[in-house]
Structure 1
């Protein structure tokens, strides 16, 4: 069965002025119902998460269910197929993944997500303490982990993610100090040089616990840490001003770092997350490139339009760049401060215009189908339920039990009995499904 779904974009402050509506359209079969209150468009959720479950267009097909969550809970055998047999006793039927269209006009908070073990432990602990699920100080709103994948849809999408090599951070600091000193009217006194002191601190770091300790030191906001934040921002502004005036063109990497620092500092003055972002890989995704964020990985999306697919959870541990609750001890408990190179996820070319983004998680995978109206269909074996989103053109999708025409901007939920999906037509479409058959 193919069932059309749609939703209204959520209006988080970092959103954009109508980018999601411009991408998907706002009438006919579009999955997007534009906001009527003039608020920003930040995220369009396509899935069954209780925070904003997708609405069902043709309710008569599903026994009158209003949204996807209601339908799944009422009829897990139809909606989830074999996944329904994996539910633990007393567990509510749930779709294990959530697809989001994300439009960031400003930086999101610096954050990390727990592992499944940490999520279950934290959820049980906060329940035992009697903390309401919707309390602002609550960290765990469900017992699930939240690995996620981001696929860029705009020409570029900017992010910071994963701790970069310590030697690279030191090199950036050296370049920042040198560029600052070249513009300084008088040399900075050695005893007052917070940047040099921070460099010396980082030079002693040789492992993951050491990087975590640096994060803890910054988030504690002691006088020295505050001084480092101020010095990094001041030096970055000096470099940006000189480069803008054409006095001293900054090296490419230093230019990217200083632009990021000033962008974040303008929005969150004095926030130590500005310096934590300096410790992370600075990433520019081109259209069609993807980033994978695993458990404990610190990250923040800065700007751009993309699609996220994630395990269906709302568990976020923030590390700054936000007015919301930051639980430093809990963040440090789940944080993975290991060095990583650019955490990009390459797709696998399955042929016939099908590209498979498949991280090592069972909750989800994302397939992109980009095809001309060629001879023969593109075939995809979906091991469970799927959500299909049209980006451009028109796709003709056929399964074992039914068929549907998917226009640009439309979305459908495909029940597992459709099995192997065959796609024809000139189109660009995304298919979200589970990562592996249930075991």
Structure 2
């Protein structure tokens, strides 16, 4: 068991308060702090150990992968950690984005390597050869767009908005409500000129404002969708993401609720803070709401245009009191949460590695004769085979998440 130090990622959509206040640092921070990474991704590996003798988690694992990861994990993932644990802090919407399957990532990574595109190039689509399924769990109210909405509902919303610039597209969706037609409409929108989207953003602002002010059944059913489109149109005039948001499910997560996002799922996190776990990848293909590189052709090649229902995850309580698990249909990771109070003691251990993260209060973690206390925003690295017990200090309450390999 070792202290693991997260890497703060500063993006313009981040918060100057959330991560600083979570960790008890001065707030506001000098720059926006968007993500706190705990893991071994090549671009931003965490360090392990006390500051005087710390090494990167990549190097620690490389020295003895069998001990750190366990035999099964080391063999399955070629001596690398298969997951990445993060805390997200979104003050503004993230880019509209999706992630590839394993086969798509391998092919895309090889193709861009063969083309001689530098890994740090701003126009690079694939920064590694791995897929990136992800699971997000809200720490506070967390707002998102995720997956294409049922086409019949989308037609109802777009008909009520009555945007002149997309009337033909709405008619085609109404006449042929299938994924192929949805794809055709979405691609037309993503490929349209900035001038076209400038005009439509003004229409969205005007029509959404009228509908929200007038109330009625359309607001009862689509208030969040209309408010989001209105906000995005004001923030990102001329951006195709404004229109694309009208095709997607609008999701609100209460604290403790989760959302699993498989490959090919178009999504955008809008606001709030959350714990996120994903396969150890940084492959992101963007479609809007950003000034970063957008490759519509490549994005369209990985997107799944099949409408899906919103599947908010309520965690499954385990046999042990205060422990909850978030199911995810992937072999790389599992996420658990504990709500600790009083003198309750819980145990954690397994055949694979784990990152144990405190998100509220203070927790004492013991492994044999070794003990360590961590506070909110701090984490420990737990090698395979190590078992620990955890107790909230000072009577609690405390909240702990653990990302690990299954089993």
Given the superposition, is the C-alpha separation of residues 71 and 263 from structure 1 closer, same or farther in structure 2, using an over 3 Å criterion?
same
Partner of 1:101: 87
Aligned residues: 401
Partner of 1:183: none
Given the superposition, is the C-alpha separation of residues 290 and 413 from structure 1 closer, same or farther in structure 2, using an over 3 Å criterion?
same
Q: Is the 8 A contact 1:400 1:418 kept in 2?
A: no
Partner of 1:161: 146
Q: Is the 8 A contact 2:201 2:238 kept in 1?
A: no
| Partner of residue 54 from structure 1, selected from 46, 61, 64 | 46
Q: Distance in 2 between matches of 1:168 and 1:401?
A: 59
Q: Is the 8 A contact 1:169 1:278 kept in 2?
A: yes
Given the superposition, is the C-alpha separation of residues 233 and 288 from structure 1 closer, same or farther in structure 2, using an over 3 Å criterion?
farther
Partner of 1:186: none
- Structure 2: tracts of 5 or more residues without a match: none
Question: Deviations along 1:146-176, whole A, 9 cap, x unmatched?
Answer: 001111112x111100001001101112332
Q: Distance in 1 between matches of 2:100 and 2:121?
A: 19
Q: Distance in 2 between matches of 1:52 and 1:237?
A: 43
SS in 2 for 1:378: strand
Q: Is the 8 A contact 2:2 2:381 kept in 1?
A: yes
Question: Deviations along 1:115-162, whole A, 9 cap, x unmatched?
Answer: 0111111111111111111111211111100001111112x1111000
Q: 1:212 aligned to 2:201?
A: no
Q: 1:234 aligned to 2:203?
A: yes
Post-superposition offset of 1:199: 1.7
Q: Distance in 1 between matches of 2:69 and 2:34?
A: 28
Partner of 2:57: 68
Q: Distance in 1 between matches of 2:60 and 2:381?
A: 11
Partner of 1:15: 14
Structure 1 consecutive aligned stretches of length 4 or more whose deviation exceeds 6 Å: none
Post-superposition offset of 1:239: 3.3
Question: Deviations along 1:324-374, whole A, 9 cap, x unmatched?
Answer: 111111111111111111132232110411000120001111100013225
Q: Distance in 1 between matches of 2:65 and 2:272?
A: 36
Partner of 1:196: 167
Partner of 1:79: 68
Q: TM-score, normalised by structure 1?
A: 0.84
Q: 1:423 aligned to 2:400?
A: no
Q: Is the 8 A contact 1:400 1:417 kept in 2?
A: no
Q: 1:267 aligned to 2:235?
A: yes
- Structure 1: tracts of 5 or more residues without a match: 28-33, 181-192
Q: Distance in 2 between matches of 1:84 and 1:287?
A: 31
Question: Deviations along 1:207-258, whole A, 9 cap, x unmatched?
Answer: 32322222211112169xx657734652443432674xx5657713433222
SS in 1 for 2:70: helix
Post-superposition offset of 1:194: 3.0
Within 5 A, what are the aligned runs for 1:224-303? Answer: 227=196, 230-231=199-200, 233-240=202-209, 243=212, 248=215, 251-303=219-271
Q: Is the 8 A contact 2:16 2:28 kept in 1?
A: no
Post-superposition offset of 1:266: 2.1
SS in 1 for 2:305: coil
SS in 1 for 2:385: helix
Partner of 1:175: 160
| Partner of residue 368 from structure 1, selected from 319, 333, 337 | 337
Q: Is the 8 A contact 2:98 2:299 kept in 1?
A: yes
CA RMSD in angstroms, aligned pairs only: 2.5
Partner of 2:372: 404
Q: Distance in 1 between matches of 2:97 and 2:120?
A: 19
Q: Is the 8 A contact 2:14 2:34 kept in 1?
A: yes
Q: Which deviates more, 347-356 or 233-242?
A: 233-242
Given the superposition, is the C-alpha separation of residues 76 and 170 from structure 1 closer, same or farther in structure 2, using an over 3 Å criterion?
same
| Partner of residue 99 from structure 2, selected from 113, 116, 126 | 113
Q: Which deviates more, 327-336 or 396-405?
A: 396-405
Q: Is the 8 A contact 1:388 1:432 kept in 2?
A: yes
Q: Distance in 2 between matches of 1:85 and 1:55?
A: 20
SS in 2 for 1:373: coil
Partner of 1:188: none
Post-superposition offset of 1:380: 3.9
Post-superposition offset of 1:206: 3.1
Q: Distance in 2 between matches of 1:272 and 1:318?
A: 11
Select the structure of larger CA radius of gyration.
1
Q: Is the 8 A contact 1:176 1:236 kept in 2?
A: no
Q: Distance in 1 between matches of 2:204 and 2:232?
A: 14
Q: 1:128 aligned to 2:118?
A: no
